[in-house]
Amino acid sequence: MKTKDEQIIFGLQPVKEAIKAGKDFERLYIYKGMSKENFSELRILTQEHQIAFQMVPVEKLNHLVQGNHQGVVGIISHITYHTLENVIAEVFEKGKTPFIVIIDRVTDVRNLGALARTAECMGVDALIIPLHESAMIHAEAIKTSSGALARIPLCRVENLKYAVNYLKASGLAIVSISEKGNRSFSDVDFTGPIALILGSEENGINKALLRLSDVICFIPMMGNIGSLNVSVAGGIAMYEVVRQRINKNP
């Protein structure tokens, strides 16, 4: 749904120029009946700049704008995304022990906002989300996060497997929080460089990411309900990292 404070760009040339200028797009909608020539040029630009797009019927575009959209409408992001490589380099340059949170396929804006708020409070260095299958970072999301999404570095990547492999090569341990884990999260050492992976309630953590994890652990529960809301589970796990680090360096 469009909100009154969303910045929308439409028309082939304006959208192409905005992409070339390095604008961060939250979403790009392209008419599924667009000519092959125009679509090919847009496709190349979106790949070069890692911009997610969705093929939609013309009715969707007409709903978003009243002008001549020429089959393409873009919603400019409310935030500036960071590159993963730059974030990790900056963390090490500051002499910090990296603490990263990877959020896999969380599409509910309230959960994403709550996770970002907790992450900012817990001193997380960056959040990593996938380019596709993630909640939109619009004004409502930022409000839900109490502004945290505009404060904490947010990296949006085409492939979470690449991000995990990059973090592993950078010396971070990859810990997935999942009910499929074989050890309690309280038994894991979180005092070193760490990246936590949290998955959606519907699909959990992608199997490929679980295979890349150094540790898969669960949060012990005593009730009858078998799982926690992802933002609650994330909050518990993030606090455990902080608790261990405080106890190690009182």
Q: At which of 76, 98, 128 does a domain end?
A: 76
CATH number at residue 99: 3.40.1280.10
Residues 188, 215, single domain; the answer is yes
Containing structural domain, residue 37: 7-76
Q: Is the pLDDT score of 1 beyond 60? A: no
| Confidence (pLDDT) at 6 | 61
Q: What pLDDT digit, counting tens, does each position of 220-242 carry?
A: 999 888 789 999 999 999 999 99
122 and 200 share one domain: yes
Up-side HSE of residue 186: CA atoms within 13 Å toward CB?
4
* Domain limit, last residue, from 28, 58, 76: 76
For 127, the token pair is 């959040």
The length of the chain, given as a count of residues: 250
**In a domain? residue 2:** no
Per-residue pLDDT at 216:
98
CATH number of the domain enclosing 40:
3.30.1330.30
CB atoms within 10 A of CB 165: 13
The pLDDT tens digits for 181-223 are: 999 999 999 999 999 999 998 889 999 999 999 999 999 999 8
C-alpha dist (Å) from residue 96 to 90, 92, 123, 245:
9, 6, 11, 12
Residue 32 CA to residue 111 CA, distance in Å, equals 31
